[in-house]
Structure 1
Amino acid sequence: MSTAISQSAATAASRSSLLPMSVIGMLFFIFGFVTWLNGSLIPFLKILCDLNGFEALFVTFAFYIAYTVMALPMSLILRRTGYRDGMAIGLAIMGVSALIFIPAAQLGSYPIFLLALFGLGAGLTILQTASNPYVVKIGPVESAATRIAIMGIINKSAGVLAPLVFTALVLSGLSDFNSQAVAQLAGAEREAMLAEVANRLVMPYIYMAALLFLLVGFVKFSPLPEIEDGASENSEGRSGIWKFPQVILGALALFAYVGVEVIAGDTIGLYGESLGVANFGSLTSYTMVFMVIGYLLGVLFIPRRISQPSALTGSAVAGCLCVLGAVFSSAQSSAISAAIWGWSGIPPVPDPVFFVALMGLAHALVWPTVWPLALEGLGKFTAQGSALLIMGIAGGAVIPLAFGKIGEVSGAVVNGYWIALPCYLFILYYALKGHKLRSWK
């Protein structure tokens, strides 16, 4: 009798969590689509606004620095409004920011583009802060890892789709649009082509704004339950977190991870364009496909066949090997990708570009493995530890700029990938030792 009651309760809990999980899954798709659209946007803005590689990477800086700058204001908004209304506000901020791309494109103003990107990042900050607790708390704690992996797959699947949609809308009939081709055009002809591409650039963001405003109403009136975040308000909670090296070092590991994740996803188009790759606008999709494969492997093998620390160790080692492959392989050869998927009709890419995309597979499991390792044993400080880990997203703002500066100073974009090597090495340290530390002595 008790077994039947237990099974009935489990079934009811599963049904009650289905709608909230569906809504949150939709939001994670939006996260991925908006975030990984930047990888396609960077090479286009480089051409439209006549930027060098370092300047173009302020796209990632403006977007990801919003997570750091706006984290506290957005958390205060969330505390006042509650989670559901907070999500609606975040979507509205993103919708307005998407519309700012219209004057940015028409004026060809890079600062206005950056303002729009900062706004998108600010809206995503409140969405991330509000939606991530749902993934953990909307169902049984023992299945939280599975839910995180599923959301990761949804997020990165959107990252596969975004560059393809962007390229189809912007580059249809303009296959010869690249910096070399534009540089060869005369003044009036050059201005005409840039104006046409700028007008086409508006369309993806108009569609995005319309969808975001529709989602505002959907989320606002959806039956999402409010959840208790368990945050501590006392001063001990705010200061005591620094006693735990595993979470401090975990935040630094995530700082390094988000930096290399953004490099692999958002600079691959910039690098491909510098090599004359015809489909450079869709190269972010290659990285995202490898990341989806990585998440699927995580669902299949963790913890059944491999532990979280072992998966993190393997990720760091594989990332180091990918960096070496990107830097030292020949840009004149496409043999590796041709052998792997040439039969499918998918365009092969130069070997260094392949290794950049493969970084997505290498580090896909860093985020889902660092979180549980960093939060282990925090007890009442778990909420503060989670907030600190979220701050690690700032790595996506800082590390790509270092990538751009190295490439600009050295005269070769590919040299920028050296910055990923110390990032992977720190992740390796955390996997082998850092997550085990329980005191600074």
Structure 2
Amino acid sequence: MKDAVETRDVHGLSPSQLKISMGIIGGMFFVFGFLSWINAILIPYFKIACELSHFESYFVAFAFYIAYFVMSVPASYLLKVAGFKKGMMVGFFALALGAFIFVPAALTRTYGIFLVGLFTLGIGLAILQTAANPYITILGPAERAAQRISIMGICNKFAGILAPLLFAAAVLKPTDQTLFDSLASLSDTARATALDALIRRVILPYSLVGTFLLLFGLGIRYSPLPELDTDQQDTSANAAEHDKKQHIFHFPHLILGAVAIFLHVGTQVIAVDTVINYATSFGIQLLEAKVFPSFTLFITICGYLLGIVCIPRFFSQTTALKLCTTLGLCFSLMILVAKGMVTFLGHQVDASVWFIVLLGLPNSLVWAAIWPLALDGLGRFVKIGSSLLIMGLSGNALIPLVYGFLADRWGLREAYVLLIPCYLYLIFYAFWGHKIRYWKKEKRKLEPETKSSASLVG
């Protein structure tokens, strides 16, 4: 009996319970990835079917991810009242509703209704991400948090590799390129009829996805996934000091971390969601260009595997963050300057496209490293702190829109200059920002107290 007790972790979980929990959360991250990264193919698909500009097409990402900004704080209160499992069930029900909204949207070919469906999907994911990310962060030793998040990242990105390929297989045909090339020459009536038929191909796959999500939510509710008490997590020597902090804005490393998440996810979604449109600008057909997001996410998985093997054995998660952010800046600069057609893996395209694909490597460990650094020492503020970081996912909504705006005015390549300031800030957080524990005003207030205490001791 004594040995059995000793093998349990700080949450009272046995190794087998820990594995089951990791497996369930891994399944959730697979669903997150599938629903998120399918946007990479939805953007050019809606651009054609709904006759949109670059700027308008990136409202797919905006509608989907702005829900994180709207819902993440309410989600933290939902989880506090209902608990993790019931809250996750509600999140899956919201996902199912969002998928079903695609049916009337497709029947009427109304872009606005599609955006409502995407926003509803985003609400569901905001709830689930608010639960799953702190859950996996605190489910085990803090120094291995980046390793666990990397495992979840593999589930997420593997789904992302499959999503655009499966979507293309379900709704696109080999003869569609002829249709796309001839749309401009068709009469208004003939073009509308062809586009109506094209957009209605999403009805069956999204109906099946909605049904699956509904059943998954019920399964989570009655699964053996344990509830974790995150309100009692701060047992460190600094607990008394943290009790003086009245709200999350007293934690600079958290606030700066939320900004870092905002910029990181924006750079990540640009690397995945814009590469198809960018590749087609060099004359590649959509049915060929659809593989480039999968290449990017495959490279990301390689980065995750590297992190699992090396963290913390060979280097810390903080060192990984420093390396990845610096490498991301270098690749971003190469996108702007690298020119010339390169043939690789059977695809002949401009060299800059391959540097977009390579961004998957530095992007792999940034998310995994920021979370434990930003949540360090939050104690009873873990849930609300997590919701603030999830709000940072709204970077996926706003940054692609800025890219689309710049692409319409400056050009698709030139718009990637947006990545430069993003990676510069991430470098700042990796080297200095995560160490900041007091704002300057707070530090000035503490200095007189420290001096006074020192004189009394003297």
Q: Judge same fold: TM > 0.5, yes or no.
A: yes
* Number of corresponding residues: 428
Other structure's SS at 2:177 match: coil
Of structures 1 and 2, the larger Rg is shown by 2
Return closer, same or farther for 1:326/1:373 CA change in 2, 3 Å cut-off. same
Return closer, same or farther for 1:299/1:8 CA change in 2, 3 Å cut-off. closer
Does structure 1 retain, via aligned residues, the 8 Å contact 2:76–2:384? Answer: no
Amino acid at match of 1:252: V
C-alpha root-mean-square deviation of aligned residues, in Å? 2.6
User: Cα distance, 1:28 vs. partner?
Assistant: 0.8
For 1:33-432, what aligned pairs fall within 5 Å after superposition?
33-141=34-142, 143-176=144-177, 180-230=181-231, 239-278=246-285, 279-330=288-339, 333-335=341-343, 338=344, 341-342=345-346, 347=347, 349-410=349-410, 412-432=411-431
Residues 190-229 of structure 1: CA deviation (Å, up to 9, x unaligned): 3343122112122331221121122122222222222212
User: Cα distance, 1:145 vs. partner?
Assistant: 3.4
Does structure 1 retain, via aligned residues, the 8 Å contact 2:67–2:122? Answer: yes
Q: Distance in 2 between matches of 1:379 and 1:87?
A: 22
Unaligned runs of at least 5 residues, structure 1: none
User: Cα distance, 1:363 vs. partner?
Assistant: 1.5
Amino acid at match of 1:352: S
Does structure 2 retain, via aligned residues, the 8 Å contact 1:257–1:363? Answer: yes
Other structure's SS at 2:438 match: coil
Other structure's SS at 2:104 match: helix
Other structure's SS at 1:390 match: helix
Unaligned runs of at least 5 residues, structure 2: 234-241, 441-458
Residues 141-186 of structure 1: CA deviation (Å, up to 9, x unaligned): 5544332111111011100010110111111233516854432444
Residues 284-321 of structure 1: CA deviation (Å, up to 9, x unaligned): 21211111111111112222222333322221222122
Return closer, same or farther for 1:112/1:429 CA change in 2, 3 Å cut-off. same
TM-score, L = length of structure 2? 0.86
Residues 257-297 of structure 1: CA deviation (Å, up to 9, x unaligned): 01111111111122223333222334321211111111111
Q: Distance in 1 between matches of 2:430 and 2:149?
A: 20
Q: Distance in 2 between matches of 1:98 and 1:237?
A: 45
Q: Distance in 1 between matches of 2:361 and 2:31?
A: 21
Q: Which is further off, 155-164 or 76-85?
A: 76-85
Return closer, same or farther for 1:220/1:246 CA change in 2, 3 Å cut-off. closer
User: Cα distance, 1:40 vs. partner?
Assistant: 0.5
Q: Distance in 1 between matches of 2:91 and 2:341?
A: 45
Return closer, same or farther for 1:322/1:52 CA change in 2, 3 Å cut-off. same
Q: Distance in 1 between matches of 2:231 and 2:370?
A: 21
Instruction: Name the structure 2 match of 1:21.
Output: 22
Return closer, same or farther for 1:95/1:254 CA change in 2, 3 Å cut-off. same
TM-score, L = length of structure 1? 0.89
Does structure 2 retain, via aligned residues, the 8 Å contact 1:322–1:355? Answer: yes
Q: Distance in 2 between matches of 1:221 and 1:385?
A: 27
Other structure's SS at 1:438 match: coil
Amino acid at match of 2:248: I
Q: Distance in 1 between matches of 2:244 and 2:402?
A: 34
Q: Distance in 2 between matches of 1:269 and 1:43?
A: 7
Q: Distance in 2 between matches of 1:369 and 1:427?
A: 11
Instruction: Name the structure 1 match of 2:449.
Output: none
Other structure's SS at 1:334 match: strand
Amino acid at match of 1:54: F
Q: Distance in 2 between matches of 1:355 and 1:144?
A: 29
Amino acid at match of 1:360: G
Does structure 2 retain, via aligned residues, the 8 Å contact 1:91–1:212? Answer: yes
User: Cα distance, 1:36 vs. partner?
Assistant: 0.4
Other structure's SS at 1:413 match: coil
User: Cα distance, 1:327 vs. partner?
Assistant: 2.2
Q: Distance in 1 between matches of 2:131 and 2:360?
A: 26
Q: Distance in 1 between matches of 2:142 and 2:178?
A: 50
Does structure 2 retain, via aligned residues, the 8 Å contact 1:231–1:384? Answer: no
Q: Which is further off, 395-404 or 298-307?
A: 298-307
Percentage of pairs with the same residue: 42
